[in-house]
Chain A
Amino acid sequence: MSRQPLLQVRGLKKHFPLERKLFGGAGKTVHAVDGVDFDVLEGETLGVVGESGCGKSTTARLLMHLIDPTIGTIVFDGAPVENTRLSLRNYRRRVQMVFQDSYSSLNPRLTIEASIAFGPEVHGTPKKEALARTHDLLERVGLEPARFAERYPHELSGGQRQRVNIARALALQPKVIILDEAVSALDKSVEAQVLNLLLDLKEEFGLTYVFISHDLNVVQFVSDRVMVMYLGKIAELGRSETVFGNARHPYSTALLSSMPSIDPDNRTQHVPLAGDPPNPIDPPAGCRFHTRCAHAETVCSLTEPPLAQVEPDHQAACHMGVAGSGHSRAPEARTAAAAE
């Protein structure tokens, strides 16, 4: 059985002009997302990890069509998402998003029930029905409607507000929810509560998650597949167990060994990766990671490695995994050819 990809992203790019020049002359450009291809399968949780400037949040906004891509397509359920009002309206009913900042993502002047009911009302649900659904959802995310429905966001704790945001995302009965650092701002004990809620809801409503986070522990816990991003590109993409257990991109390896050890007898002894993530304004030529990579060779600074299959369900963009790439650690071209 092969699952139909619910979302297919092809050649997606987003460049932000840094300064708009009045009279000609191209200003600098931020290559926030610079050509990514990936699928989101129905019913899975796709974890997206990476450091600041890697483009994960821009990817989320592109997926949500909150910003227009510079180029590239998003296909949802077999149909391309077009930049027309009708197409977007339908698309947005099926794809929803939860933001990191639970406070900023709720209108401070609206009661939480009004915030949740807003979406369905926009889509023509009668007010009464929208409110009834809102109360069901509040109940479902663990906030008793009688006590919470008429409160304002500032009267709730961070965890409660994030529950409201989740309820709001669910109000349009979407198939996909994009969680952009949705639990990152919460205290650890509350984070666990919200993660549990997300797991339950996924099962109950048959949801698909795109789970964006910088916290590898959490991503490993929730994700079926993981996508590692670096400077606007996908470094590695594969099943969670394979990426965490057998990372093939040196960046993923470094990222994984950067996780603080929880064992006092076995603390981290060496810095896994030196330097700061470079600026996406002027990404290095060739492999974007070669400036920080311990295994970098000449080929890495010259040609950009493609995102290549390294084993079933596992892709990495590294010359070391591509046969005949010219990297000394690359597999022999012949053996690779024979394997295919």
Chain B
Amino acid sequence: MADPYLRLDQLEVTFTGGRSPVRAVNGVDLTVDSGETVALIGESGSGKSVTLRAILRLNPEKKTRIGGKVTVGGRDVMGLGNKALAQFRGGEVAMIFQEPLLALDPVYTLGDQITEAIRRHEPISKADARKRALSLFERVRIPSPERRLDTYPHEMSGGMRQRAMIALALACNPKVLLADEPTTALDATVQIQILLLLRELQREFGLSIIFVTHDLGAAVEVADRIAVMYAGRIVEEGSARDIIHTPRHPYTIGLLKSRAHGAMTKGRRLDAIAGSPPDLADLPKGCAFAARCTLATDPCRQTQPELIQTETGTRARCLRTDQTLTRPGELVGA
């Protein structure tokens, strides 16, 4: 089997700016094949966005300590020089954000921003670059693209801006698209449009996508595989189907159970996960979820569980998977 296109080995990110170091990411191993979409799911503080930023080395260098290895297309990202890094960002790996208004430059038209980005990476004429920008706008289904190229970001609606940002990200034919909660701020009817667009573009361009979200539904709509993060670690990982139907980590199970959904009886209480996530500046020695887990035993609190292959297909970082078998689909009311 061919090597995965993108690979994270024992990625660690520690923020050293504050009073005590904050261990945002604590040893993440993740592989993404060419043309594969992986969703990173987690709550605020789980380290999902930090992981994503680490791939592009976007975290502030002076206040961040990064450990482990990031390999993209056979190249070690941590070892890239300034020039190679600039080429790598956008050219090989591009990123889209939750709030396009903050990510796009307010003083240039969208057309200018895209042509500029293309010309930074490739020696082509302005007219050719603009032609490509136009075809990108058509690809992301922006109505009357010719006219929209000459508008400023604030003149567009939220959905259009997100499409424009995707066009900008795809401008230099990247192989990998990193998506940081790109649909969270959008309205429901627009969110589904963007999710389907991403799915379509992924197929067409053979992109590898890492899609960061806190929303299981959005993840299921786009992802082939899902990795669930908690306190800076991937606690469970597997195909979207296995994660939804037969999850084995108590946290994943808890997330699925605490979801309000239509099939549930009116007035019934939700099975909420008790407690709140641990302090990243003071992580427990053992499993970070142990304090909130009903199955936790002393070994859970003492040792850091390894990711193990379960017989239902997922890999879970849990010592008690013998206790977590559910009827397939039970948790989502199937």
Contacts and interface: CB of A to CB of B under 8 A. Distances in A.
A contacts B directly (C-beta below 8 A): yes
Interface of A: 51-52, 157, 159, 187-193, 195-196, 199-200, 214, 216-218, 220-222, 240, 244, 254-255, 258-265, 267-268, 270-277, 279
Nearest to A223: B266
Interface string B187-215: 11111110110000000000000000011
A192 B270 CA distance: 6
26 contacts: A188-B258, A191-B258, A192-B273, A193-B273, A193-B274, A195-B260, A195-B272, A196-B269, A196-B270, A216-B188, A217-B259, A217-B262, A220-B260, A240-B266, A255-B188, A259-B192, A260-B215, A262-B261, A264-B220, A267-B220, A271-B196, A276-B157, A276-B159, A277-B157, A277-B189, A277-B190
Interface string B151-171: 000000111100000000000
Interface in B222-279: 239-241, 244-245, 254-255, 258-262, 264, 266-267, 269-274, 276-277
B188 A214 contact: yes
Contacts, number: 133
Interface of B: 43-44, 157-160, 187-193, 195-196, 214-218, 220-221, 239-241, 244-245, 254-255, 258-262, 264, 266-267, 269-274, 276-277, 332, 334
A189 to B, nearest CB: 4
A259 B218 CA distance: 9
A88 B69 CA distance: 62
Contact of B192 (A218, A240, A271): A271
Nearest to B194: A271
Contacts of B264: 221
Given A196-B269, A262-B244, A268 B193 contact: no
7 residue pairs, one from A and one from B, having the closest CB atoms = A260-B217, A192-B272, A221-B260, A192-B258, A51-B187, A187-B43, A276-B157
A276 B190 CA distance: 6
Nearest to B191: A258
Given A189-B255, A214-B188, A268-B196, A262 B217 contact: yes
A264 B328 CA distance: 13
Contacts of B245: 264
A218 B264 CA distance: 11
A214 B260 CA distance: 13
Contacts of B259: 188, 192, 217, 262
B39 to A, nearest CB: 11
A244 B195 CA distance: 23
The listed residue with most A CB atoms (<10 A of its CB), out of B190, B216, B244, B334, is: B190
A260 B218 contact: yes
A199 B272 contact: no
B41 to A, nearest CB: 10
The listed residue with most A CB atoms (<10 A of its CB), out of B160, B262, B271, B334, is: B262
Contacts of B267: 199
Contacts of B261: 217, 220-221, 262
A212 to B, nearest CB: 14
A195 B188 contact: no
Contacts of A187: 43-44, 214, 277
A258 B189 contact: yes
The listed residue with most B CB atoms (<10 A of its CB), out of A192, A217, A259, A273, is: A192
Given A220-B262, A268-B196, A271-B193, 16 more contacts: A187-B277, A188-B259, A189-B43, A192-B258, A192-B259, A193-B272, A195-B270, A195-B272, A196-B270, A240-B266, A260-B192, A260-B195, A263-B244, A265-B241, A277-B187, A277-B190
A188 B43 contact: yes
B220 A261 contact: yes
Contact of A189 (B187, B218, B254, B269): B254
B244 A264 contact: yes
A264 B240 contact: yes
Nearest to B160: A276
B334 to A, nearest CB: 7
Contacts of A51: 187-190
